[in-house]
Structure 1
Amino acid sequence: MKLIDLSVPLSPGIREPLPAKIDYASHEDGAQQAAAILGLKPEDFPESRAWATETVTLNTHSGTHIDAPWHYWPTSEGQPSRTIDELPLEWFYSDGVLLDFSAKLPGYEITTDDLIAELRRIGYILKPFDIVLIRCDADKRLYNDHYAFLHAGVSAEATRWLLNQGIKVVGTDGWGWDIPLNLQAESYKQNPRDDVLWAAHFVGKDYEYCQIEKLANLDQIPRPFGFKVSCFPVKVEKASGGWARPVAIFED
């Protein structure tokens, strides 16, 4: 069996709108903490050392994570939108399909025709519950100052097409599923209209589905299908998303 890590680290070094903050406590700090809790002195511990810990402050959409339907809108398919802890686990372990759009420039909006052409190129027909991964190689620019604006996005029309094939989980190695937010804003300012701002996300009003965002290492997947994806989200109560460590699994 071969496993490929498809996640980025939680790191304060990633320049994104929702950055992580990590406070590191050393073994010496741990001795101070433990002594205060247990009524001891730090020097009571071997070499005045105890546990090392970290305190992490982050948004549920920091790092590699999965968006729940609640993230998109209060309702989905006419019912209250489900949060990340309410979704069926079966969605997050299934056959993976890799669609390669790494040749597209940042800001490109992937269309339905693009998806169909790529599926035809790799010789694959989607089936319900496949996990569709969009490669644009934005993870190679993870520590760039403008990382959040350096991916190709998927159009609302193309998103609907995928979901109409029975897909429940899609993923991208970009910061977000739509085209970059700055391009959405520029387009709206020039011509205010519907279906511009967060258009693909808002497809979740009519279709219940999940997005994996900020994937990595999709270029390391050796073939476009014939592998499993495991991407179980952390169970955050009543949350709009949950952190995940997706893995591509290849059987020998």
Structure 2
Amino acid sequence: MPTLIDITRTMDPQNRAIVHESFRALEAVLAPRITYLRPEDGGRDRMTAIFGCSPDDLPDGEGWGEDLLTEMNTHCGTHVDAPLHSGRLVEGRPARTISDIGLDELFRPGMVLDVRDWVQPGEAIPIEGLDAAIKATGREIEHGDAVLIRTGQERYTPADREFYFYPGMTGDATRYLTSRGATVLGTDALAWDRPFPVMKKAFEETGDPAQIWDGHFAIRDKEAFIVQQLTNLAALPLTGFTVGFFPIKLPGTSAAPARAVAFVAD
């Protein structure tokens, strides 16, 4: 049996309470609000209302456990971006949604690109760093690979300002990976591209629209699935494992939260 390594961030509602004050708008992509209906209170009340019974009619006076999720973005926590997230047309064809993607496309040989020595907060991940990290794995990217980028961001929490100023990918760097065959692109950062304030400033200074969300827009040229907010990449070998991303089965959405698990042979 392979060793299973969870590389999914917990969508903990407590993270909403500790979001850095400058980034409150991001609460819904970090965690949902959860209302817990416990067997001894809310779950009990639900059952007595449905069945017209009293608590005395239930075992130990308890009902069921039930939980309500609200204010949850489809891009919440560790999630898979469908091509539709990058635009209506991808490779000149209608972009696929989450429900169009087969699970076999999200269960792929994996490799970790450790670029920590090559990155700076808020700056673009250089292609030279990606190339060096690929060489460190001892093999080339093959068609259908899931390439997971380890930037070191997993050491921060939403309470840290550094959490929001992560190293990000550019369009050229994204195409560097997809042109070599990568079809799943993962990162331990909050998002794939450079941080929004960084891209906005670059656009204001240069007037170049290519500075805007260029990492995601690169998917319009060659289809791939982007996975964000991974964690625990330090527990993985650089290669020699399979990784699965199992998104919630939602119809027609541009993304879905996913359980991401690496399968490492014993």
TM-score grouping bracket, smaller chain normalisation: over 0.9
Within the candidate set 8, 22, 26, 2:38 is matched to 26
AA aligned to 2:177 is: L
Aligned to 1:12: 13
**Compared CA separation, residues 43 and 147, structure 1 to 2 (3 A):** farther
Q: Deviations over 1:62-118 (max 9, x none)?
A: 110000001110111111111001012221111110000223222131132221122
- Answer yes or no: is the 8 Å Cα contact 2:156–2:163 preserved in 1: no
Q: State the match for 2:169 in structure 1.
A: 154
Unaligned runs of 5+ in 1: none
Contact 1:61-1:243 at 8 Å conserved across structures: yes
How far off its partner does 1:173 sit? 0.5
How far, CA to CA, are the matches of 2:54 and 2:251 in structure 1?
37
Partner of 1:187: 202
- 1: CA distance, partners of 2:143 / 2:55: 58
Question: SS of the counterpart of 1:154?
Answer: coil
Using the TM superposition, give the Cα deviation of residue 145 of structure 1 relative to its aligned residue in structure 2, in angstroms: 4.3
Q: Deviations over 1:210-251 (max 9, x none)?
A: 101000001111x20011101121211110001111111111
Establish whether residue 246 from structure 1 lines up as the match of residue 260 from structure 2.
yes
Q: Distance in 2 between matches of 1:219 and 1:149?
A: 20
- Could you say which residue in structure 2 is the equivalent of 1:208? 223
> Partner of 1:109: helix, strand, or coil?
coil
When normalised by structure 2's length, the TM-score is 0.89
> Comparing 149-158 with 102-111, which one deviates more in the overlay?
102-111
User: Is residue 105 from structure 1 mapped to residue 125 from structure 2 by the alignment?
Assistant: no
CA contact (8 A) 2:150 2:187 kept: yes
- Output the amino acid matched with 2:3: K
Q: Give the structure 2 partner of residue 123 of structure 1.
A: 138
Q: Is the 8 A contact 1:150 1:174 kept in 2?
A: no
Q: Percent identity?
A: 32
Bigger proportion of residues as helix: 2
- Aligned-pair Cα RMSD in Å: 1.5
**Matched residue SS, 1:246:** strand
Q: What are structure 2's unaligned runs of at least 5 residues?
A: none
Residue 43 of structure 2 corresponds to residue 42 of structure 1: no
Equivalent position amino acid for 1:68 in 2:
A
| Structure 1 contact 68–240 (Cα < 8 Å) conserved | yes
* Aligned partners of 2:111 and 2:137 also within 8 Å: no
Distance in 1, Cα, partners of 2:193 & 2:150 = 13
Write the mapping of 1:79-98 to structure 2, written as runs, cut at 5 A.
79-98=93-112
Give, as a single letter, the amino acid of the residue that structure 2 aligns with 1:172: T
Judge conservation of contact 1:141–1:150 (CA < 8 Å) in 2.
no
- Give the letter aligned to residue 24 of structure 1: Y
Structure 2 residue identity aligned to 1:91: E
Whichever residue aligns with residue 21 of structure 1, its letter is R
Instruction: Tell me the distance in 2 between the aligned counterparts of 1:49 and 1:102.
Output: 51
Aligned length: 251
